[in-house]
Amino acid sequence: MSKNTKAISHDVEQLAEDARALMTATADVAGDKVDAARQRLASALERTKEMCGQVRDKAVESARAADAVVREHPYQAIAIGVGVGALIGYLVARRCSK
């Protein structure tokens, strides 16, 4: 996992933890509005958990597919990498020379 992905994952986990703590802290507070808000928060947490799982699964699936393609066509993958690198290098050099 990249640093960015780990940071986002950590932030989402921290948010979920804070939301659970808020739900626990307000458990003794009575009122229809508080109950409704607590239920919406619990529902949102569950949806977020499912969505994170789906995103993670899709990312793993995409990485495996990319790995399979690179293993199937290694020389083409190297050529694409070199081409993209050369293009980026050309654009950066052109920009820096101005």
**Alpha-carbon distance values, 74 to 10, 69, 94 (Å):** 35, 8, 30
DSSP assignment letter at 26: T
Check residue 2 and give its pLDDT: 67
Average pLDDT over residues 14-41: 76
Q: pLDDT: is 35 or 84 the higher one?
A: 84
Check residue 1 and give its pLDDT: 55
- Domain boundary assignment for the chain: 3-73
User: Which amino acid type is present at position 63?
Assistant: A
| pLDDT tier for residue 54 given thresholds of 50, 70 and 90 | confident
pTM (predicted TM-score): 0.54
